[in-house]
Amino acid sequence: MDNIRVAITGPKGRMGKNLILAAKQENISIGGILVKPGSLTVDCNEIDIKVTDNIYNIIDNFDVLIDFTNPKSTLKYLDICRIYKKSMVIGTTGFDQTENKLIDIASKEIAIILSPNFSIGMNVILKLLEKTTKIIGNNSDIEIIEAHHRNKIDAPSGSALNMGKVIANVMNWQFDQHVVYNRHGSISKRKNQSIGFSTIRAGDIIGEHTAIFANMYERIEITHKVNNRMNFALGAIKATKWLKNKQSGLFNMWDVLGLSSL
């Protein structure tokens, strides 16, 4: 049993269930399960795991909180973890600039891994996008297409936006000034130096992302597809182990995988 202890939020959700399974698979001690207030009934298949709707009931039972909920809940947990010096692995997406700033401020006191996608494959894709953009970004029309299940709330996905930000950073573009989210009603040709986003919400698609680099003669498509949500959960557990000896700082999966310096 690894001596790092975790608490996991949202055990009834798609990710929560897989995070519990992944922690068990990787021999990580689960010090508690956090549910929404008033919803204490949960089957976690472990009678010795404390299930609670109040984080203070398990505050002494974990070292790292793994949270894949929503911005409002995550920020509530963030403030408590900062006070009690608990690290966090955050997979929540949909934060605005102010909320991201709060996470950055908290990271001066606790260690945080923030990533819109904990898939190892997706993070390799991001590095490929960085390299591809350096070579042909100036000579390409760039589009990003993403597809997720019908219940996903934020759009474009955090991973799609992260792909765009990696590309914009290489191009030295101010991201918000070069994105196109909606072409409805447009009667002009495609803008140069832009990144177009297309979003699909259908069925139970786990996650598919494609970046297109196209010119008049050829195109490159870089695609990542997830077959099972356990992929994200195992990535989050890998990140949790990596955090073990970190006291403070804001990190991402490139740091965990050693991709930052490549």
- Catalytically active residues are 148, 152
Q: Is 205 exposed, middle or buried (0-12, 13-18, 19+ CB in 10 A)?
A: middle
| Ligand-binding site membership of 116 (annotated) | yes
- For residue 207 the two structure tokens come to 């996650």
| Ligand-binding site membership of 118 (annotated) | yes
Q: Give the residue carrying structure tokens 């010795």.
A: 48
| Ligand-binding site membership of 11 (annotated) | yes
| Ligand-binding site membership of 150 (annotated) | no
| Ligand-binding site membership of 117 (annotated) | yes
User: What is the amino acid identity at position 74?
Assistant: T
Q: Is 73 exposed, middle or buried (0-12, 13-18, 19+ CB in 10 A)?
A: middle
| Ligand-binding site membership of 156 (annotated) | no
User: What is the amino acid identity at position 158?
Assistant: G
| Ligand-binding site membership of 178 (annotated) | no
Give the helix/strand (H/E) hosting 82: helix 71-84
| Ligand-binding site membership of 244 (annotated) | no
**Binding-site residues from annotation for (S)-2,3,4,5-tetrahydrodipicolinate:** 149, 158-159
Known binding-site residue numbers: 10-15, 43, 91-93, 115-118, 149, 158-159
